[in-house]
Structure 1
Amino acid sequence: MHVLPALLAEIPFWKNPDYLKRAAITLLILVTAFLLWRLLRRGRARLDDLLQSKRRTVPPLHIRGLQLLTGSQIVSAVTLLSVAVFYGLVLLDVIVALLLTFSQFPATERYVNLVLGWVLTPLHDLYYGFLASLPNLITILVIALLTRFILKAVSFLFTKADEGAINLSPWVHRDVALPTGQIVRAVIIVIALFLIAPRIPGTGSEAAKGLSVVIGLMVSFGSSSTVGNVIAGIVLTYMRPFRVGDRVQIQGTTGDVMERTFLYTKLLTPKNEEVLIPSTKALDGNITNYSAQARSGNLILYTTVTIGYDTPWQTVHQLLIDAALKTEMVAPNPQPFVLQTALDDFYIHYQVNAFTAHAEAMPRIYSELHRNIQDAFNAAGVEIMSPHYTQLRDGNQSTVQGPLKPKATRFRVAMD
């Protein structure tokens, strides 16, 4: 309340010879602030019109094929940001105008100095704090640049090793060059972070220590399965059980390997289903790689039929081999072969085996092979079946074929 009387005491011209000068300066300050406000308002209106006109033409934001924001969302975000900037500049305009206005009067000048102290003291502390931490910031910059250079060199080295341009054997096999490069890059980044962390301003404060403890607990409790997957993925990588593109069977799922990471393996089944198998699950079970031997043409596809004892085994063998040779993508050399895997009471198990170099076409090869077997046996008049007999053998003709076949005898039944 004592400010207003003191201010009014200065208004009469005869008590303040600089009144007209101060009034003119105050008026100029207010007019300038008003013009700046009008300019800001007009600029915001034009920016809003421009953003609205571009709402449907702004392309969406993609990062590595993943759409993060649509064009409309980007325009809305920029509009919201422009509103925040507008009101911030208006507030700054008003504060500066008031401070300059109050500085024209001795009665309010000390309040201006007080407010300026509130604002300038933190800025002063930040400035001298920045100067004090400048050596550490330069060191951080040097470490970051050196780390970036080393990462690029490591990436180039292992990429060329994966392409076969550089031979790192026997230390690093070509199949695991890229995963090894990822591990080396991760180790280099961790070392760089250990070197940078102590030099970041504020990392020695109690708040930073408490925050690091909380983050460490969250990571340790929430990432146990992730860490297990990563370790299992590293083990699988250096076991080299399959490559990208191989036809494999993992945990009962058969498909082509689309992607292999330390966390999971992605398979594409013959039915175009994408299946993600965690590395821990893949390591715990059996892994069957069909493409490993198919690359050299030595993958064997096989199927079994059961035929009665009345059909000579030579006939069955020839029919199965002929059916296999008629099958597309079955190699004629080595020639298909037949194994008799079991002699049951009433029929024999015949297993036909054929070589192929096309693991990716296994379902089609099996389907065509089964069709050809049916056609071959139907043409020869041989039934594909598992016969069962209930009969009296005394006097019946034996099913044994060839020169060992016993002579037929008449049926003897004694009647009392």
Structure 2
Amino acid sequence: MSESVEQTTQTLIDFVAMYGLQVLAAIIILIVGFWLAGFAKRKSHKLLMKSPNADEMLAGFISAIIKYVVMAVTFLAVLNKFGVETTSLIAVLGAAGLAIGLALQGTLSNVAAGVMLLFLRPFKVGHFVEVGGQSGVIKGVSLFTTEMATGDNVQIIMPNSQVWGSAIKNFSAHDTRRVDLVMGISYEDDMDQAMATIEALAKADDRIKQDPAPVLAIGELADSSVNITVRLWVNASDYWGVRWDITKKVKETFDEKGISIPYPQQVVHHVKEG
């Protein structure tokens, strides 16, 4: 029994003597490698954001790639420490990657679409967009998905391939937007007076730009109203505020001036037979 214990002890001592330093070195490499990966990600992100054309999504993507590259080099260094032939391992991983890629074509299409979104940048973080039948504020783009938040702060996560394969309507791409309104008045009312009233309200609001100047025109002679088309240019951030305020002020001013906004109505003629 004592001889068996001595043999086991000796075997452990020989194992530690043979592989102890390699295990210790591998642990040190892992610790340093993981620290370097995190440091490289933070540093590269910080440097990229200093660029005048910096973009949060692109900086996050590139810094993440740098982190994964450092981690991959770290794992190869650890395997090499144990005598594993990394060259043959890379070849095996390449073949396996090809097989996995064929099996995961949909996933890889999301990665490809994510790369296109990050480099071509049809939108940025914070932009309000409409894409794939969904609309919301862009929160971020990863390799596989695009995250948005709706106006009532509901999270939407869409596959990148669906985003890239759809028409993207970006409401925040330009500094200015046009507010389009249609104001209906009665056929008995004075059209020129109504248009002058709306124009005065547009000039009195500092948020409405005078260059390009507001456009007012008779857009349609509808069934029950004369429709005035109103087009106003504003800063993108003022779009909804101006739209709501002008609509309210037009109604209040029309009431004061006796200009009516008719309800939809139809005139029915009853013909009596015989």
| Alignment TM-score, normalising by the size of structure 1 | 0.50
Query: Highest relative contact order (Cα 8 Å, sep 6+), 1 or 2?
Result: 2
1:196 equivalent in structure 2: 77
Are residues 1:160 and 2:47 paired?
yes
User: 1:125 is aligned with what amino acid?
Assistant: F
- Aligned residues: CA RMSD: 4.3
- 1:93-112 paired onto structure 2 within 5 Å: 111-112=1-2
Deviation of 1:341 (Å): 4.1
Task: Return the alpha-carbon distance in structure 1 between the equivalents of residues 154 and 145 of structure 2.
Answer: 16
Deviation of 1:331 (Å): 3.7
User: 2:15 is aligned with what amino acid?
Assistant: D
2:3 equivalent in structure 1: 113
Deviation of 1:199 (Å): 0.9
- 1:170-209 paired onto structure 2 within 5 Å: 173-175=53-55, 177-179=58-60, 181-182=62-63, 184-186=65-67, 188-189=69-70, 192=73, 195-196=76-77, 198-201=79-82
1:371 equivalent in structure 2: 248
2:137 equivalent in structure 1: 256
Deviation of 1:221 (Å): 8.8
Is the CA contact (8 Å cut-off) linking 1:229 and 1:279 kept in structure 2?
yes
SS of the residue corresponding to residue 153 of structure 2 reads coil
SS of the residue corresponding to residue 288 of structure 1 reads strand
Residues 291-332 of structure 1 show CA distances to partners (whole Å, capped at 9, x for unaligned) of 2223xxx21122223345544543343233334445574345
Greater C-alpha radius of gyration:
1
Are residues 1:355 and 2:233 paired?
yes
User: 1:336 is aligned with what amino acid?
Assistant: P
Task: Return the alpha-carbon distance in structure 2 between the equivalents of residues 162 and 339 of structure 1.
Answer: 47
2:113 equivalent in structure 1: 232
- 1:371-390 paired onto structure 2 within 5 Å: 371-385=248-262, 386=264, 388-389=266-267
Cα separation, partners in 2 of 1:337 and 1:238, compared to 1, 3 Å: same
Is the CA contact (8 Å cut-off) linking 2:189 and 2:260 kept in structure 1?
no
Cα separation, partners in 2 of 1:273 and 1:196, compared to 1, 3 Å: same
SS of the residue corresponding to residue 232 of structure 2 reads strand
Cα separation, partners in 2 of 1:284 and 1:217, compared to 1, 3 Å: closer
- 1:115-134 paired onto structure 2 within 5 Å: 115-130=5-20, 133=22
Is the CA contact (8 Å cut-off) linking 1:246 and 1:256 kept in structure 2?
yes
Are residues 1:246 and 2:124 paired?
no
- Please, which runs of 5 or more residues in structure 1 have no aligned partner? 1-110, 168-172, 392-416
Is the CA contact (8 Å cut-off) linking 1:144 and 1:192 kept in structure 2?
no
Cα separation, partners in 2 of 1:270 and 1:319, compared to 1, 3 Å: farther
Deviation of 1:282 (Å): 2.1
More strand as a share of residues: 2
User: % of aligned pairs identical?
Assistant: 17
Residues 202-257 of structure 1 show CA distances to partners (whole Å, capped at 9, x for unaligned) of 757xxx99xx89x9799769965544333222211222222222233333444333
Cα separation, partners in 2 of 1:178 and 1:217, compared to 1, 3 Å: closer
Residue from 242, 260, 278 that aligns with 2:159: 278
Are residues 1:287 and 2:140 paired?
no
Is the CA contact (8 Å cut-off) linking 2:37 and 2:70 kept in structure 1?
no
Deviation of 1:264 (Å): 3.2
- Please, which runs of 5 or more residues in structure 2 have no aligned partner? 270-274
User: 2:234 is aligned with what amino acid?
Assistant: T
